[in-house]
Chain A
Amino acid sequence: MSHTRRLQLKTVPMIVISIILGPIGNVFLGKAMKSVESFNSARVSDLVSIASEVLKSGYLWLGIGCLLGFFIVHMLLLTWADYSYVQPATSLSYLSISVLSYLVLGERISPLRWIGVMVICLGVFLVGRTPPSTTGDTHLA
């Protein structure tokens, strides 16, 4: 089995895990942040009370837990695959985040936004057809 083929066999399942965990984490964070006062209209003196309110939200910690899992998977991927391959490939998560935002958060997503997300996925497809590692020896001194 070629080196590139072997890398792809373990890279693809890890990318699938990361495109599920990351969006779920972001949806939980969105749910937590929507339950507090907007930072956009808040005064500096309100920031401490907003922060303490956010820290009490269970959704925040669920989101952080999912994103931590996503981060570990992402780090493992980066030990063998190029950053410029992993980063765009995991952007398939933009499709899942749109679906989850619609289903879980009830966000109304315009056709233009769906088109934008589809174009992002097309970009991901193009990136996914390039070899995962271009530097050969992945071990930096």
Chain B
Amino acid sequence: MNPEIAANSAANPLLPVNGAVPLSWYLILSAMLFLIGVVGVLVKRNPIVIFMSVELMLNAVNVSFIAFGRYLGHVGGQMISIFVMAVAAAEVAVGLGILISIFRSRENINVDEVNLMKG
């Protein structure tokens, strides 16, 4: 590699320095995972898969939190991730309970046809 490029890339936050993964890589990965989750929520019609996409988005945010906590040397990132996991578990329990309840009353849980709360 051209040594000039190597010298420039040492200051580039998008390239690894001394073999360490830069923070920006984790943030970009997190953003991409979050985007895939958004697309899943918008495109899928099956409420179970929509829930799984929401889980994917929560996980992507956890990656951001933990990466920030690691690179800033602060414990808050991992603490918040623990709370996000707890909230995700509670959300799944209640959400799947709602799905079973809806399925029991109408035998059909296509999200386009469940409009009980429509005004």
Note whether A and B form a binding pair.
no
Q: Which residues on B are within 8 Å of A, measured CB to CB?
A: none
